[in-house]
Structure 1
Amino acid sequence: MRKAAAKPGRAPVTKRKAATGMYEARRPRKVHAAVRPDEDPDSIDSVLLETARDMLEADLMDRAGYEKITMRHLKSSHAIGEIEAISAEQIRAMRERARMSQGVFAQVLNISPGYVSQLERGLKQPEGATLKLLSMIQRKGIDALL
């Protein structure tokens, strides 16, 4: 294979690399103009929420769309509300109401059956994503995840 002329200070460039542009140096990724590290991200959220509120008032957006946007952009826990702890008895009741075995329930939550067993016996408390999913099941039923 014949090699293309090498640029000074670089390894030789093959025809394939030259044709595909693989020899060119990668450019640094651009940061989106709306997100700057020196700005407070909450101010961006407040502007987006204000715009959405204005669109709702001008009947350019329906109430459901507005609520969907606001929930996406609210970041502070005081605005959304803390998720209350769920007891072992409540977890077992949710699983039994869904008529699922511990194995199937674990698969729906993407956790191990052993962890479901520990939760139901009160040996462990659900945290993070598991707590969030259990809270959603408690509020909306198992169909919300299926």
Structure 2
Amino acid sequence: MRDSIKKAISETVQDLIDSGFTTSFTEKELNSLGVTIPDVHLTTCQIKEIRETLNVSQPVFAKLLNVSPSSIRQWEQGKRQPTGATRVLLELLKQSPHILDYRLNA
């Protein structure tokens, strides 16, 4: 594949991922194109802001995320960082605070 075509494809796929579009590329294919999936970085203040935006207490927030209240406390105090899927879920909540509203409706 010519370098100019590979670069154009790489930039297009990277733009799709950065914009939140779902792609069906494998990790190997993305790596071969030089496409990266950005890491999720959240500060303690951002985690607290997400919870406060939802207007819930730490125990309720913990229940929504299916983690312990102790984890929420430690994240907000900077003693620990969320990991894995929870980190991604927090990023989604930051962008769309109402995505878990269905869990609050009985």
- RMSD of aligned alpha carbons: 2.2
Give the direction of change, closer, same or farther, for the CA distance of 1:75–1:103 in structure 2 (3 Å limit).
Answer: farther
User: Deviations 1:30-64 (Å, cap 9, x if unpaired)?
Assistant: xxxxxxxxxxxxxxxxxxxxxxxxxxxxxxxxxxx
What is the CA-CA distance between 1:79 and the residue it aligns to?
Answer: 4.6
Aligned sequence identity (%): 32
Residue of structure 2 in register with 1:42 after alignment: none
1:87 aligns with 2:43: yes
Contact in 2 for aligned 1:95/1:102 (Cα 8 Å): yes
Give me the TM-score of the superposition, normalised by structure 1.
Answer: 0.47
5+ residue gaps, structure 1: 1-69
**Structure 1 match to 2:25:** 74
The structure with the larger Rg is 1
Q: Higher relative contact order at CA 8 Å, sep ≥6: structure 1 or structure 2?
A: 2
The structural deviation recorded for 1:80 is 6.6
Structure 1 outlier segments of 4+, above 3 Å: 77-80
> Post-superposition shift, 1:75?
3.9
Greater helix content: 2
Distance 1:80 1:98 in 2: 31
Which residue is equivalent to 2:74?
118
CA distance in 1, matches of 2:26, 2:73: 32
Inter-CA distance 75–119: structure 2 relative to 1 (3 Å threshold)? farther
- Structure 2: tracts of 5 or more residues without a match: 1-20, 102-106
Q: Is the contact between residue 88 and residue 119 of structure 1 (CA under 8 Å) also seen in structure 2?
A: yes
Instruction: Give 1:98's match in structure 2, choosing from 54, 64, 67.
Output: 54
